[in-house]
Amino acid sequence: MSSVYGTNTRLLELPFTKAKGMGTMKTVDEKTVTMNRRKFLEITGVSTIVGLLGGWGLVELFAPGELDASYLPKKEALVAQRWAMLIDMKKFTDQSAEQCIRTCHRIHNVPDISNPKREIKWIWLEHFANAFPGEEHEHMPESIEEERFFVMCNHCDNPPCVRVCPTKATWQRKDGIIMMDQHRCIGCRYCMAACPFGARSFNWGDYRSSIKNRNPEYPTREKGVVEKCNFCAERLAKGLIPACVEESKGAMIFGDLMDEQSELRKSMREHYTIRRKPYLGTNPQVYYVI
Amino acid sequence: MFERALAGDRRYWGLVIVLLFIIATGFITYLWQLKMGLQITGMSRDVSWGFYIAQFTYLVGIAASAVMLVLPYYLHDYKAFGRITILGEFLAVAAVSMCVMFILVDLGKPMRVFNVLLHPTPNSILFWDMMVLSGYFLLNIVIGWTVLEAEKNSAPPPSWIKPLIYLSIPWAPCIHIVTAFLYAGLPGRGFWLTAIMAPRFLVSAFASGPALLILLAMILKKFTKFDPGTKPIQTLAKIVTYCIIINVLFVLFEAFTVFYSQIPEHMRHFEYLFVGIAGFGKLVPWMWVSMIGMITASILLVIPAVRRNHSTLALACVMVVVTTWIDKGLGLITGGFVPNPFDRITEYWPTAPELLISIGVWAAGFLILTILYKIAVSIKEELG
C-alpha cells in the first residue's frame, strides 16, 4: 500500500469539478433544476426561522434600555471622566505610610500572609530602584534613593491585563478604573504575567482565615482568583475618596484628570511628576511628585 | 475499530495498568490541589506560572510537529511517510490532550473554564489558543481515525476528509504561533518580548516532535510486528537535523540582540538563566546542559554515518528531546518571570505534588497514545 490516495486525486480539484468545461452559468442552472419540493420547503423553513430570530434580535437591540437606568451612579457618588492619583512621598512619615497600607488592607479584607512568596497586597512600599527600575543611578540624592514609594495598581489607560484576560473578568470602567470580577475569574493568572508593575496578587489558598478583622461591608475572596487595588470603587460609589488618600492627609491627591480645575491638575502644574515605566505604553495613572 | 484496543498481550495490559496507576496517583494529588489551592505548588506572586504552563508550551510543539509528516505526504505525495503519518496524527491527539489537561490543572478555578466560551474575548490570545487547540484536536482525531478506518477496509478514504487534511496543514503551525504570542506580546517581560519567539517555537517543535516520533517508531518496531521502514525514519532524521541547527542559530540570534544592545531589561533574564544573579541560579546547570546538548546533537546529526546507524540516531534523538524540553519545559517560563517587575529575584522550583500531578498528566497522555497506537498498529499488522 503506497498511498491511500492513489485512486482519489479528483478531490484535489473539488471546488472546480463542476465548472470544468461548462462555464459558471451552467453550474447554477444545474443547481436550480435539481431543487425539488422537499429541498425548497427545507430552505424556506430555515430562512423563516432565521428571519424571525433576527427580527426579534433587532427589536431587543433597539428597545429602550430599562436596565441601564438602574446601573446609573447614585446621587452621592463621586464621578469623573478619568480618575487619577498623585503621590507626594515627602509628605509621608513611615508611620503615616504604614497607616495607609493598614487601612486599605483592613477595609478590603486583604489577608495577612507571612510568606512573601504567597502574600496578597493592594498597596505597599518599594525603594526608588525597585519602583522605578532603570531610573536610578549611583549619584542621586540619598533622600530619593532611600525613600520608599507607594506602589499599587496604576489603573493604566491602556491596560495589558484587560487586553489578555480571556473572560473579561478584569475590565476597564469608563472613568478609567480597572475592575476585577472575582466571580468570573478562572484563575489563569495571565493578567499577572501581563502586568509590568507586579500589581496583582493571587489567592494561592483559602486565605479567609488569615483576615484579622473582617470588614462585613466588603467581600472576601475565594482561593484561586486574582485581586488588586480597585481605587476604592466601592467608596467612590458612596461619595467617599479612596481610603489611602483619606488617610494620607494631603500627601495623596485623587481627582479627575480631565478637569483642569481639579486639585489634581493644579498640583500637576506646580510639581514635576513621573510615572512608573511610562515607556511601555500602558499609560499609568498614578503620578509621583519627585 | 476501538475493539482492537481491548485485545492485547500481557505486555500491552501491563503498560496500561502501570500508566493507570501513575494517573491515579496524579489524580489523587490533583484532588488535594483542588482542596488546598495552588499553594501546594512552587509558584509564587512573582513566578505565577510554572511547570504546568511550561509542559503545556512544550507539548503544543510536539502536537504541531505532526505537520512534518502530513505535509510531505499529502502535499508532495511523499509516499514513504504513508505508513507513519497516522503515528504523527495520533501523537498530536495525545499531545493536545495533555495540553488541555495541563491548562486545567493550572487554573485556580477549573470549574469555571467554560467562562472562556461564555464570554468570548477575541483580544485575549488565550481565547484564541483555546480555539486553535480544540480545532487541532478535532482535526487530527477525525482525520487519523477516518483514514485508518479506510485503510482497514482497504478502501480509499471518504472524499470529505481531504479538505480537512489540507486545513490541518496550516492549522498545525498556527497552534504554536498562537502559543508563542501568549508570551511574545507582553510589555515588561523582556525575556519573551521578542519577534523570534514564534519562529523559535516552531523550529524547536519541528526538531523535538519528529525526534520523539523516530524514537516511538523504533519502539514500535522493537515490540510489535509493525515496521515503519528505514526511509521515513531517515527523512525524519534529516528534518530533525535541519530544525535543531536552526533552533541553535535562533538562540544565538536572540543572544546577539540582547547582549550587543546591552538593554538590561532583556539581558537580566539571560544572566539569571545562564550565570545566575547574586547567587541565585537554580537553572544555570540545566540551561548549559540544554545548550551544549543541543549543539552536540546538531553536530552528531550532521554526520551521515551517525544518522544512518539507528543506535546513534536514537541517542541523538534522545538528546534533542531532552534538551528542547529543558529549554521550553524548564527555562522559558521561569526565565521570563525572573527577575520580577521590581528587578528582584524570586526563584521557582516545582514541588513534589506539582511533579506528581504533572507526571500524572504525562501518563494520561501516554495512555491515550498507547491506545491509539495499539489500534493503528493492530490494523497495520493485519494488513501486513
Would you state the pLDDT for residue B243? 97
Which tens digits make up the pLDDT trace of B302-356? 999 999 999 999 999 999 999 999 999 999 999 999 999 999 999 999 999 999 9
> Does residue A61 register a pLDDT over 60?
no
Judging contacts by C-beta atoms under 8 Å, the chain B residues touching residue A116 are 45
Number of domains forming the structure of chain B:
1
Question: When comparing pLDDT for A16 and A51, which is higher?
Answer: A51
Read off the pLDDT of each residue in A26-50 and give the average, rounded to a whole number: 60
At residue B382 the predicted structure's pLDDT band, cuts being 50, 70 and 90, is confident
Q: Are B45 and A118 a contacting pair at CB < 8 A? A: yes
> pLDDT averaged over chain A?
85
> pLDDT averaged over chain B?
95
> Does residue A5 register a pLDDT over 50?
no
Q: Are A273 and A287 within 8 A, CB to CB? A: yes
At residue B217 the predicted structure's pLDDT band, cuts being 50, 70 and 90, is very high
Contact pairs from chain A to chain B, CB under 8 Å: 172
Read off the pLDDT of each residue in B198-202 and give the average, rounded to a whole number: 96
Question: When comparing pLDDT for B147 and A11, which is higher?
Answer: B147
Q: Are A80 and A175 within 8 A, CB to CB? A: yes
Would you state the pLDDT for residue B381? 86
Q: Locate the domains of chain A by residue range.
A: 18-62, 83-289
Number of CB atoms found within 10 A of residue B180's CB: 25
Query: Residues 149..188 of A with a Cβ closer than 8 Å to B: which?
Result: 160, 163-169, 184-188
Domain that holds residue B303: 2-383
Question: When comparing pLDDT for B335 and A36, which is higher?
Answer: B335
Retrieve residue A133's grid coordinates. Answer: 527600575
Q: Are B350 and B15 within 8 A, CB to CB? A: no
Pick the CATH number of A83-289 from 3.30.70.20, 3.40.50.300, 3.30.930.10, 3.40.50.10490: 3.30.70.20
Please state, in angstroms and rounded to a whole number, the distance separating the CA atoms of residues B72 and A251: 68
At residue B4 the predicted structure's pLDDT band, cuts being 50, 70 and 90, is confident
Q: Are A193 and B127 a contacting pair at CB < 8 A? A: no
Among left, alpha and beta (phi > 0; psi -120 to 50; other), residue A289 is: beta
Q: Are A133 and B343 a contacting pair at CB < 8 A? A: yes
Closest C-alpha to B376, from B134, B94, B166: B94
> Does residue B215 register a pLDDT over 90?
yes
Read off the pLDDT of each residue in B204-216 and give the average, rounded to a whole number: 96
Would you state the pLDDT for residue A25? 42
* Per-residue b or e along A77-113, where b marks 16 or more CB atoms closer than 10 Å to that residue's CB: ebebebbbbbbbbeebeeeebebbbebbbbbbbbbeb
CA distances from A60 to A46, A66, A185, B177 (A): 21, 11, 29, 39
CA B17 to chain A, closest CA, distance in angstroms equals 33
**Percentage above 90 pLDDT, chain B:** 92
Would you state the pLDDT for residue A15? 38
Question: When comparing pLDDT for B5 and A41, which is higher?
Answer: B5
CA B52 to chain A, closest CA, distance in angstroms equals 11
Most confident of A29-38, A45-54, B211-220: B211-220
**Is B159 touching A (CB cutoff 8 A)?**
yes
Would you state the pLDDT for residue B16? 96
> Does residue A14 register a pLDDT over 60?
no
Retrieve residue B96's grid coordinates. Answer: 493536545
Would you state the pLDDT for residue A9? 39
Q: Are A188 and B106 a contacting pair at CB < 8 A? A: yes
At residue A75 the predicted structure's pLDDT band, cuts being 50, 70 and 90, is confident
Q: Are A11 and B77 a contacting pair at CB < 8 A? A: no
Would you state the pLDDT for residue A212? 85
Query: Residues 197..236 of A with a Cβ closer than 8 Å to B: which?
Result: 197-198, 201-206, 222-226
Considering only the beta carbons, identify the residue of A163, A167, A192 that sits closest to B48. Answer: A192
CATH code where residue B203 lies? 1.20.1630.10
At residue A19 the predicted structure's pLDDT band, cuts being 50, 70 and 90, is very low
Query: Residues 272..331 of B with a Cβ closer than 8 Å to A: which?
Result: none
Judging contacts by C-beta atoms under 8 Å, the chain B residues touching residue A198 are 45-46, 340-342
> Does residue A24 register a pLDDT over 80?
no
**Is A190 touching B (CB cutoff 8 A)?**
yes
> Does residue A179 register a pLDDT over 90?
yes
Judging contacts by C-beta atoms under 8 Å, the chain A residues touching residue B52 are none
Residue A86 bridge partners (DSSP):
A253, A287
> Does residue A148 register a pLDDT over 70?
yes
Would you state the pLDDT for residue A35? 58
Q: Which of A100-109, B4-13, B21-30, B91-100 has the lowest mean pLDDT?
A: B4-13
> Does residue A22 register a pLDDT over 50?
no
Which tens digits make up the pLDDT trace of A189-211? 999 999 999 999 999 999 998 89
Would you state the pLDDT for residue B383? 83
Judging contacts by C-beta atoms under 8 Å, the chain A residues touching residue B82 are 1-4
**Is A193 touching B (CB cutoff 8 A)?**
yes
What's the whole-model pTM score? Answer: 0.87
